[in-house]
């Protein structure tokens, strides 16, 4: 049997020794052994507790209850649904998911998240539709993290500070439907707000100012001061204009040069008589 015929029947994974090859040049034997029995790169293996699946025709990557304390690496870039719930994730760094260009759903619930970067969801503005941040340790999140996102967010079961930052966030996102949406003021909130539902408060009170019941924000105060200054200038100008017009009739008329005065006319008349 020729060497070519022998190679064609070589079963992958079974490496013949050079002694089994028919007589041939040493270099040819080495090439045949290397070419038929070379080691291939190991395929990517998901972290323990994670797996790739197809759910409802969409590529899904699940790492639920996997004991993760950091975000996993190697998530396939064609992932549409990413489940990282019920782990020990404490933060989401900037650009953590920007390598997932078609990600539509992200579940980060039931972790220990206490911090979100302002750019945590960078790169997801055109695709992300559902985001679950419930049951974490979030007291506040930067409003910048949600700029440009067309996303429905679950923010329930967190110890919210119920401050200006949260009020600004709620102006930018759509909340997951539910009774009160579960946004309750936590220990870091004002004493009179602790334990109360935040949404009714946000509708009644402006928390981005210095006081309560619609206190103006700093930008509004600056605008009011500027407008007040202009109004004061206009009032002063009008007052000066009115005063000047009132004083004008009281001033004596200047006598035209060359015309005789009233006293001279009287003396002349007396002489004629």
- pLDDT tens, residue by residue, 50-84: 999 999 889 999 999 999 999 999 999 999 999 99
Q: What percent of the chain has pLDDT over 70?
A: 67
What superfamily in CATH does domain 48-209 come from?
Ribonuclease Inhibitor (3.80.10.10)
Report whether 90 contacts 111 (CB < 8 A): yes
Q: CA–CA separation, 169 vs 174, rounded Å?
A: 10
Report whether 100 contacts 122 (CB < 8 A): no
Q: CA–CA separation, 137 vs 159, rounded Å?
A: 6
Report whether 89 contacts 108 (CB < 8 A): yes
Q: Residue 215: helix, strand or coil by DSSP?
A: coil
pLDDT band at 14; cut points 50, 70, 90: very low
Q: For residue 8, what pLDDT is reported?
A: 43
Report whether 84 contacts 108 (CB < 8 A): yes
Q: For residue 233, what pLDDT is reported?
A: 83
Domain boundaries, the chain: 48-209
pTM of the model: 0.63
């Amino acid at each position: 049997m020729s060497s070519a015929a022998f190679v064609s029947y070589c079963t992958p994974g079974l490496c013949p020794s050079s002694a089994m090859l028919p007589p041939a040049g040493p270099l040819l034997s080495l090439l045949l052994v290397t070419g038929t029995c070379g080691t291939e790169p190991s395929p990517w293996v998901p972290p323990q507790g994670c797996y790739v699946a197809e759910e409802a025709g969409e590529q899904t990557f699940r790492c639920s209850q996997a004991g993760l304390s950091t975000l996993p690496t190697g998530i396939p870039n064609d992932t549409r649904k990413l489940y990282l719930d019920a782990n020990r994730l404490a933060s989401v760094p900037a650009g953590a998911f920007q390598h997932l260009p078609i990600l539509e759903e992200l579940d980060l619930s039931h972790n220990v998240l206490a911090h979100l970067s302002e750019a945590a969801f960078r790169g997801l503005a055109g695709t992300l539709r559902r985001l679950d941040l419930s049951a974490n340790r979030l007291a506040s999140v930067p409003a910048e993290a949600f700029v440009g996102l067309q996303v429905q967010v679950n923010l329930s079961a967190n110890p919210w500070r119920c401050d200006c930052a949260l009020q600004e966030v709620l102006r930018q996102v759509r909340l997951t439907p539910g009774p009160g949406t579960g946004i309750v003021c936590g220990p870091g909130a004002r004493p009179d707000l602790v334990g109360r539902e935040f949404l009714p408060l946000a509708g009644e009170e402006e928390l981005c100012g210095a006081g309560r019941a619609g206190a103006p924000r700093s930008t509004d105060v600056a605008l009011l001061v500027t407008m007040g200054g202009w109004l004061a200038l206009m009032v002063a100008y009008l007052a000066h204009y009115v005063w000047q017009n009132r004083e004008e009739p009281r001033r004596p008329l200047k006598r035209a040069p060359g015309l005789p005065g009233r006293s001279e006319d009287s003396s002349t008349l007396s002489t004629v008589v």
